[in-house]
Amino acid sequence: MKEFSTKPYLIRAIYDWCSDSALTPYLAVKVSEQTRVPKAYVKDGEIVINLSMDAVRNLHIGNEEITCGGRFGGVSHGLVVPIDAVIGIFAKETGQGLVFQGNDSIPTLPTDSGSATSPDKPTLPGKPRLRVVK
């Protein structure tokens, strides 16, 4: 019996949760030779893609890859992201989501919510910290 990875199922679950909660799902991706995204929007070997229904068309989150069409700088592109290249998926507004094991980097958010992604990305806050309040 073939063992299936849980990763695509978790990606779909967070995507559905974001959509149901009226949040914007963002996908952080480690770009490789198998990843088809506009190279001009790749920074440090990574790209963050807005997967909201307003930003992409024909979204398919399969067990091997994620495919969709998106606009970058007003130009349409076909996107192909292997599941193995996904670093994480999270809500733009809250930062809640999943970062997958084996990924050293933390996803970052684009500043322009009108396009599928943006080259300028502020970083998410680091790990939560506890402090004593008297």
- pLDDT tens-digit profile of 25-63? 999 999 999 999 999 999 999 999 999 999 999 999 999
Start-to-end Cα distance in the chain: 57
Identify whether 108 is part of a domain. no
Please give the mean pLDDT across all residues of the chain: 84
Percent of the chain with pLDDT over 70: 75
Identify whether 84 is part of a domain. yes
Cα radius of gyration (the chain): 15
Token duo for residue 35:
């990843």
Identify whether 67 is part of a domain. yes
Identify whether 128 is part of a domain. no
Domain that includes residue 90, residue range: 7-99
Identify whether 131 is part of a domain. no
Count Cα atoms within 13 angstroms, Cβ side, for 45. Answer: 11
* CATH number of the CATH domain containing 83: 2.30.30.220
Structural domains in the chain (count) = 1
Q: What is the pLDDT of residue 101?
A: 80
Task: Write the DSSP symbol of residue 36.
Answer: B
Confidence of residue 4 (pLDDT cuts 50, 70, 90): confident
Full strand arrangement of the beta sheet holding 97-99: 46-50, 25-30, 86-91, 97-99
Of the candidates 49, 46, 53, 48, the one whose C-alpha atom is nearest the C-alpha of residue 23 is 53
Distance, CA of 59 to CA of 78 (rounded, Å): 10
Q: What is the pLDDT of residue 115?
A: 46
Identify whether 110 is part of a domain. no
Identify whether 21 is part of a domain. yes
- Arithmetic mean of pLDDT, 83-111: 80
pTM score, whole prediction: 0.75
CB atoms within 10 A of CB 99: 17
Identify whether 107 is part of a domain. no
